[in-house]
């Protein structure tokens, strides 16, 4: 088994919290025999110390040469620096990022570095909403969406603020090794195993716990996810009007009820594709999509692949052959 090489580039005034996320969440990913799935190494441009946003210095073991052999390069957020102030990269940094054959990832304001290097031109991306106006002014060619937690554009991924960096790291593990591995990492770190990347950054304060909320209705819906559930059904269970329920639901989850229900169904379908031999038609029914066509459309919209291709990724060609025989 080959271990995926991850290089984390610590730039001057790197955000301290974000610098540790790849090691904790990627470096903490193991297979069923507790073997590491990633090797995470931290580098500075010259191998020397850099000051962090928290007021202390870090001295990594590597310089930027390790970026050349990495499968994934992660740039945590930075405070200040030319990329944020002028949309430009220092020559040494520009040279380090040029021509890399790696999956490129940014956390929070690390997106400014990728954008300044031309890696986000004409591509969807995100960053922390507080810096969206400055980002747009500096990089008008980037298709910025400041409303979401993270954006997966294949070989380039970007995320919003601190906690969204956790979401993106778990998404990488899930994308590379499946939900079971990502859930294990999340459980060991005592964090939510999954938040949809399209979830809004602009969540309202959670309502008073003593007042009516939508959590019981969400639990009720998950127990009946294989059935058709309308907005009116959900609102009736919560004993609210449709308008009040929709507002409260968005306040609590950051999503509309329909979007939340779809993401839960996609998540269930992915788990079933990864961990069972059920035919795709059965999975579509159990996840509440009704038809394989609907499942295929929603799965492709969420992660860009069809059900059988997704199963092949996680279960191998032998499993796929059995699936086709059962379908």
3-state SS, one letter per residue, for 77-133: CECCCHHHHCCCCCHHHHHHHCCCCCEEEECCCHHHHHHHCCCCCCCEECCCHHHHH
Look at residue 28 in the predicted model and tell me its pLDDT.
95
Look at residue 212 in the predicted model and tell me its pLDDT.
63
Strands (E), the chain: 4-9, 38-43, 50-51, 57-58, 72-75, 103-106, 124-125, 143-144, 150-152, 156-159
Look at residue 316 in the predicted model and tell me its pLDDT.
54
Cα torsion 127, 131, 132, 134: sign? negative
pLDDT in tens, 236-287: 999 999 999 999 998 888 789 999 999 899 989 988 998 899 999 999 999 9
For residue 18 the two structure tokens come to 């974000």
In contact, 197 and 150? CB cutoff 8 Å:
yes
Does residue 180 register a pLDDT over 80?
Answer: yes
The residues, any chain, with a CB within 8 Å of residue 277's CB and separated by 6 or more, are 319, 322, 323, 326
Tell me phi and psi for residue 9, to 5 degrees: -95, 110
What value does the mean pLDDT take over residues 168-185? 92
Does residue 21 register a pLDDT over 60?
Answer: yes
Cα torsion 211, 213, 216, 220: sign? positive
Look at residue 255 in the predicted model and tell me its pLDDT.
84
| Closest by Cα among 144, 143, 142 to 132 | 144
């Amino acid at each position: 088994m080959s271990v995926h090489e991850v290089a984390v580039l610590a730039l001057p005034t790197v955000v301290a919290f974000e610098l540790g996320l790849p090691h904790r969440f990627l470096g903490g990913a193991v297979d069923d025999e507790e073997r590491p799935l990633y090797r995470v190494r931290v580098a500075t441009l010259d191998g020397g110390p850099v000051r962090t946003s928290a007021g202390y210095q870090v001295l990594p073991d590597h310089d930027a040469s390790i970026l050349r052999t990495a499968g994934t390069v992660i740039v945590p957020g930075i405070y200040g620096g030319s990329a944020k102030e002028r949309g430009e990269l220092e020559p040494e940094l520009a040279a380090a990022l040029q021509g890399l054959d790696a999956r490129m990832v940014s956390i929070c304001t690390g997106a400014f570095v990728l954008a300044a290097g031309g890696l986000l031109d004409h591509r969807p991306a995100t960053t922390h909403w507080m810096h969206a106006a400055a980002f747009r002014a500096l990089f008008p060619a980037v298709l910025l969406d400041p409303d979401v937690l993270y954006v997966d554009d294949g070989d380039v991924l970007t995320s919003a603020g601190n906690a969204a960096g956790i979401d993106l790291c778990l998404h990488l593990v899930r994308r590379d090794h499946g939900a079971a591995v990502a859930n294990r990492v999340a459980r060991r770190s005592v964090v939510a195993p999954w938040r949809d990347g399209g979830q809004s950054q602009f969540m309202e304060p959670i309502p008073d716990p003593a007042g009516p909320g939508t959590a019981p209705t969400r639990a009720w819906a998950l127990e009946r996810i294989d059935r058709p559930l309308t907005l009116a059904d959900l609102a009736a269970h919560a004993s609210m009007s449709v308008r009040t329920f929709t507002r409260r639901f968005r306040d609590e989850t950051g999503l509309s009820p329909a979007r939340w229900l779809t993401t839960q169904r996609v998540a269930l379908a992915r788990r079933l594709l990864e961990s069972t031999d059920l035919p795709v038609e059965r999975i579509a029914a159990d996840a509440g999509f009704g038809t394989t066509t609907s499942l295929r459309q929603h799965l492709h919209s969420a992660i860009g692949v069809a059900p059988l291709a997704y199963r092949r990724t996680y279960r191998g060609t032998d499993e796929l052959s059995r699936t086709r025989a059962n379908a």
